[in-house]
């Protein structure tokens, strides 16, 4: 009996390698957002904590979207190790600035992956990556807005908490078009 799962084809190994790296990047970002959420939660800032708990869950789902795509493509999937997260922060701006930097980094990684699948002639992979490109534009914009609000609050975190209560900056209109998540959404 032969397995329906195939090893990575040398012709598409660049794309497959980058997909696996992106799984690690998404899981790593999810863990970092979890650390950020806990930091805010321990300081009795429930809106900021909830925002980053949601971001963590969303990034985990994004990793599992890639896993599902790989499985749907009959490609063997190996879940890679992730990098260590940062837990030592001194002030709230550091956390949000780190999140903005992480999203910009993920955006560059998604763009590079999209370019690679295009160069490899993987039209299905390119179509799959379009959702991630739109998602990254939205994520950078929303977190940049949160950082701007934090800066304008001039240390008054209750103003930031009120902003998060008023504004729904944690959900995306792009979610309805999202690819499936391996194992279902969290």
From CA 131, how far away is CA 14, in angstroms rounded? 20
Question: Both tokens of residue 46?
Answer: 């429930």
From CA 66, how far away is CA 23, in angstroms rounded? 7
136 annotated to bind ligand: yes
Please enumerate, as own/partner, the contacts of 122-131 that have beta carbons within 8 Å and a separation of 24 or more. 122/12, 122/15, 124/73, 125/15, 125/19, 125/69, 128/69, 128/179, 131/174, 131/177, 131/178, 131/179
102 annotated to bind ligand: no
103 annotated to bind ligand: yes
Annotated binding site: 26, 103, 136
Annotated binding site for Fe cation: 26, 103, 136
């Amino acid at each position: 009996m032969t397995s329906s799962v195939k090893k990575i084809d040398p012709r598409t190994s660049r794309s497959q390698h980058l997909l696996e790296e992106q799984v690690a990047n998404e899981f790593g970002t999810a863990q970092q957002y979890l650390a950020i959420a806990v930091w805010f939660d321990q300081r009795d800032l429930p809106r900021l904590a909830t925002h980053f708990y949601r971001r963590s869950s969303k990034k985990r789902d994004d990793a599992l979207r890639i896993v599902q795509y790989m499985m749907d493509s009959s490609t063997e999937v190996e879940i890679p190790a992730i990098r260590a997260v940062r837990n030592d922060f001194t002030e709230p701006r550091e956390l949000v600035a780190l999140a903005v930097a992480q999203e910009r980094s993920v955006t560059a990684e998604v763009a590079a992956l999209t370019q690679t699948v295009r160069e490899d002639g993987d039209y299905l992979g390119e179509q799959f990556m379009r959702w991630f490109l739109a998602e990254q534009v939205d994520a950078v914009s929303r977190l940049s807005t949160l950082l701007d609000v934090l800066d304008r609050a001039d240390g008054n975190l209750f103003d930031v908490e009120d902003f998060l209560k008023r504004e729904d900056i944690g959900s995306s209109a792009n979610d309805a078009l999202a690819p499936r998540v391996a194992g279902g959404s969290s």
